[in-house]
Amino acid sequence: MVSANREMVVYCFDTLVAHYNDEQVPPPAFDEGQHPLFVTWKKVVNGYEPRLRGCIGTLSARDIVNGFKDYALTSALRDHRFPPIQAKELPSLQCTVSILTNYEDAANHLDWEVGKHGIIIEFTDPDYNTKRSATYLPDVASQEGWTTIEAIDSLMRKAGYRGAITDSVRNRIRLTRYQSTLFTMHYNDYVNYVKTTRGAAPSVTGLKA
């Protein structure tokens, strides 16, 4: 099984830096494979808790080289919840790559563990008779300090449901649980890695030295 690793995060940073510099992305230092994956960008300022700046991926397996290249940019520049990340924000960024594994159909909406499982919910909105779905990665509920019920209720809102959340509505949920491996790196660590492996720090257009 392929696990998330440092080289995958480096490739995501390389991709974003190449975008700002209008250059080709250096070749990745990891092997190709087929896996569901996510790329998450967070901003770390003055020692406070990292703040989400973008998170997009796919729940279906795809080539991980092109997958990380695509979602590094999509999550940084086209997550509709946030303005696009600018080059000047790079020194404050940390990147997490996630590779998703072990998909399982859950018995019900409570059949999963906070801190272990990511969850995908699918249900029919009783007010509009439309299908809704959303996911949280495995680390989200634990980082937010949520119980299983609190995570489910928040995820229903993320899916676009605006009605009253009751047991009757929760019981409509079809839940798929999954696990993941992840690797996180801050921009400073990326710079040091590039210095060590390539002999010079990355230069970024629009970023003061």
Whole-structure pTM value: 0.92
Radius of gyration of the chain (CA): 18
How far apart are the C-alpha atoms of 2 and 16, rounded to whole Å? 23
Question: Average pLDDT in the 185-190 region?
Answer: 97
Written as one letter, the residue type at 171 is N
How far apart are the C-alpha atoms of 94 and 81, rounded to whole Å? 18
Taking all residues of the chain, what is their mean pLDDT, rounded to a whole number? 95
How far apart are the C-alpha atoms of 18 and 55, rounded to whole Å? 19
Is the model's pLDDT at 10 over the cut of 90?
yes
- Given strand 174-186, what is the order of strands in its sheet? 51-63, 34-43, 93-105, 174-186, 118-125, 130-136
Domain ranges of the chain: 6-101+180-198, 109-172
Q: Rounded to the nearest 5 degrees, what angle is found at the Cα of 106, between the Cα atoms of 117 and 39?
A: 35
Quick check: 32 and 63 in contact, CB under 8 A? Answer: yes
Is the model's pLDDT at 209 over the cut of 70?
no
Q: Looking at domain 6-101+180-198, which of 3.30.1490.20, 3.40.50.300, 3.30.700.20, 3.90.550.10 is its CATH number?
A: 3.30.700.20
Quick check: 75 and 57 in contact, CB under 8 A? Answer: yes
Q: Is 29 helix (H, G, I), strand (E, B) or coil?
A: coil
Per-residue pLDDT reduced to its tens digit, 16-58: 999 999 999 999 999 999 999 999 999 998 878 899 999 999 9
Per-residue pLDDT reduced to its tens digit, 64-84: 999 999 999 999 999 999 999
Is the model's pLDDT at 178 over the cut of 80?
yes
Written as one letter, the residue type at 99 is I
Residues whose CB falls within 8 Å of the CB of residue 66, separated by 6 or more in sequence, listed in order:
none
Per-residue pLDDT reduced to its tens digit, 115-154: 999 999 999 999 999 999 999 999 999 999 999 999 999 9
Is the model's pLDDT at 206 over the cut of 80?
no
Going by C-alpha positions, the residue among 65, 70, 11, 12 that lies closest to residue 42 is 12
Burial bucket for residue 133 (CB in 10 Å: 0-12, 13-18, 19+): middle
